[in-house]
Chain A
Amino acid sequence: MSAQTETHAPSLPAPPDAHAGESAPRIVPVRRTGRWAAAVLVLLLLAGALVSVVRNDAFQWDVVGAYLTTDSVLRGLGLTLWLTGLVMVLGFALGTLLAVLRLSGNRVLQAVSWGYIWLFRSTPILVQLLFWFNIGALYPQILGISTVNLLGPVTVAVIGLTLHEAAYAAEVVRGGILSVERGQLEAAQSLGLGPWRRLRRIVLPQAMRSIVPPAGNMLIGTLKGTSIVSIIAVQDLLYSVQLVYHRTYEVIPLLLVATLWYVAVTSLLSLGQYYVERHYARGTAGTR
């Protein structure tokens, strides 16, 4: 049987200068000398920089090690983490609401959403925080309670960062919703699904594929961005190390302590983003 199939197999045309009876010619890739040279050069430069960092005593790595896991630094890290989490959750909840308003058929609601986003994206977050911190000058009392007592620095930090975050989150969510094909909404309407069900079950899960990458960006940005609350004396990671170096003048090693923690946490978040993206990619071509 095999002999028979062989006679029916199409014969490949021989390469122009091949001789009958020779085995298939071996393929030799191009030599990339420049590529190797560039790699070696860059690695040498990196090694040099690393050696200088390790051997320069002014970095005071022993001090870095001593403060890396002290209570006050860990408490600051804890505050940075929960502040980031809370601001992301509240910011995206408000942002989703703003996005839905912006995409609604109601012109007034559209305008309100647009105005909100315009206002909160047009002013620096530093200015917004200082504004909320001094809101007592405008409204000394809220609901009969003294504003200063009602809004402590941490509350001001949550409010200020959330309102700012929501403006950006709104645009991220709106972009995600717009990325969902119009036919999906029509199919859901023709099946009699109500507006809330359409949004939650059909549109948002598909929008998530476009929302997650920029949201991951925002999460990492927010984690680092919360360091701005140190100016209103909220004891986050940065403010905790500042408190130490104002006492000991070991500025560089303590900034390194904060840096190492920021890098560690953002690395974990980047890893998490990979898995979240994979989850929302289900059902798209090329997966499963």
Chain B
Amino acid sequence: MSAPTEEATGAPAMVEIRSVHKSFGAVEVLRGIDLSVRAGEVTVVLGPSGSGKSTLLRTVNHLEKVDQGWISVDGTLVGYRRSGNKLYELREREVLRQRTRIGFVFQNFNLFPHLTVLENIIEAPVAALGRPRKDAVASAERLLARVGLADKAGSYPKQLSGGQQQRVAIARALALEPKLLLFDEPTSALDPELVGEVLDVIKDLAHAGTTMIVVTHEIGFAREVADTVVFMDEGRIVEQGPPADVLDRPAQERTRAFLSKVL
């Protein structure tokens, strides 16, 4: 086990995942995952249900604890402090501070239904970062304009379509100005005609150089936006590489079988 280092290839690694294992009871969901994500790159994780891809994403901001291995984001271990050859679990307060630098977008949006769109977005900057309310409101309005919802600040989430809710959720994650954005199947709960508007927002973020890990079933999106495509099955990474390789010339039989079903 080596400490987080800079990749030899040039750009520093924003995320490093090293031999991560995770079990739920007797079921081993992650069986030794190694993955690096360089700053400014988009990594798309594909794989069948139960392949462990959502669990992997949730370990990156410590919503799930790992059983073995370690994960670092921007050079800092997530959820642990290293001393000698031991990893000490951090206190919740410290984990919460780390999470403010890692944005997470959920499949089911998880907007706070009793708060307006604006209140949803400014909640974390004000409460977790202690930013003045006025500044938080101003930047929330800029973010809403960026996701095309400038006129919805006073609405409640349930008054919006699924696509609009997910765009608000993205704005809420961006409000903390995270170094890394994690998307857990961001379009899976949407009606088909609403998928495009959410993917467009994510593409814009990709073009702006945001570091992202996106778990999705949208192969077309992966082909267009991903710098790296990772294919997972049964808790392992089967293969990874540029989309042109993994999607069009997969080296592994398992990847070919999956792609033939979803394409």
Tell me the minimal C-beta distance from B157 to chain A in angstroms.
7
Chain B residues with Cβ below 8 Å from A187 are 104, 106, 110-112
Q: Mark B56-82, 1 if CB is under 8 A from A, else 0.
A: 000001010000000000000000000
Chain A residues with Cβ below 8 Å from B176 are 191-192
| Given known A191-B128, A193-B128, contact A206–B114 (CB-CB < 8 A) | yes
Tell me the minimal C-beta distance from B91 to chain A in angstroms.
11
| B99 adjacent to chain A (CB < 8 Å) | yes
Contact pick for A191, options B100, B113, B114, B156, CB 8 Å: B100
Q: Is the CB of A206 within 8 A of B113?
A: yes
Tell me the minimal C-beta distance from A254 to chain B in angstroms.
47
Chain B residues with Cβ below 8 Å from A201 are 123, 127
| B161 adjacent to chain A (CB < 8 Å) | no
| A107 adjacent to chain B (CB < 8 Å) | no
Which candidate, A24-32, A121-129, A170-178, A278-286, is the interface stretch facing chain B?
A278-286
Q: Considering the chains assembled together, what is the distance between the CA atoms of A193 and B176 in angstroms?
A: 12
Chain B residues with Cβ below 8 Å from A197 are 127-128
Q: Is the CB of B99 within 8 A of A190?
A: yes
Cβ < 8 Å to B, chain A residues 147-187: 181, 183-184, 186-187
Q: Is the CB of A283 within 8 A of B97?
A: no
Chain B residues with Cβ below 8 Å from A189 are 63, 96, 99
Chain A residues with Cβ below 8 Å from B157 are 283
Tell me the minimal C-beta distance from B47 to chain A in angstroms.
21
Residue among A201, A206, A283 with the most chain B CB within 10 A?
A283
Q: Is the CB of B99 within 8 A of A184?
A: no
Chain B residues with Cβ below 8 Å from A183 are 106, 108, 110
| A205 adjacent to chain B (CB < 8 Å) | yes
| B92 adjacent to chain A (CB < 8 Å) | yes
Tell me the minimal C-beta distance from A77 to chain B in angstroms.
36
Q: Mark B142-184, 1 if CB is under 8 A from A, else 0.
A: 0000000000000011110000000000001100100000000
Q: Is the CB of B123 within 8 A of A193?
A: yes
Q: Is the CB of B92 within 8 A of A195?
A: yes
| B3 adjacent to chain A (CB < 8 Å) | no
Tell me the minimal C-beta distance from A187 to chain B in angstroms.
4
Chain B residues with Cβ below 8 Å from A280 are 114
Chain B residues with Cβ below 8 Å from A188 are 112
| A103 adjacent to chain B (CB < 8 Å) | no
Q: Considering the chains assembled together, what is the distance between the CA atoms of A184 and B102 in angstroms?
A: 17
| B205 adjacent to chain A (CB < 8 Å) | no
| Given known A183-B106, A187-B106, A283-B157, contact A194–B128 (CB-CB < 8 A) | yes
Q: Is the CB of A283 within 8 A of B63?
A: no
Chain B residues with Cβ below 8 Å from A288 are 156, 159
| B90 adjacent to chain A (CB < 8 Å) | no
| B93 adjacent to chain A (CB < 8 Å) | yes
Q: Is the CB of B114 within 8 A of A285?
A: no
Residue among B102, B104, B110, B173 with the most chain A CB within 10 A?
B110
Tell me the minimal C-beta distance from A245 to chain B in angstroms.
50
Q: Is the CB of A282 within 8 A of B114?
A: yes
Cβ < 8 Å to B, chain A residues 251-288: 280, 282-285, 288
Residue among B106, B112, B123 with the most chain A CB within 10 A?
B112
**Nearest residue in B to A185 (C-beta to C-beta)?**
B110
Would you give 14 A-B contacts (Cβ < 8 Å), ordered by A? Answer: A186-B106, A187-B110, A190-B102, A190-B106, A191-B124, A192-B99, A193-B123, A193-B127, A194-B93, A202-B112, A206-B114, A282-B114, A283-B158, A285-B158
Q: Residues of A with Cβ closer than 8 Å to B?
A: 181, 183-184, 186-195, 197, 201-202, 205-206, 280, 282-285, 288
The 6 closest A-B pairs by CB, nearest first: A187-B110, A191-B124, A192-B100, A192-B128, A190-B104, A283-B156
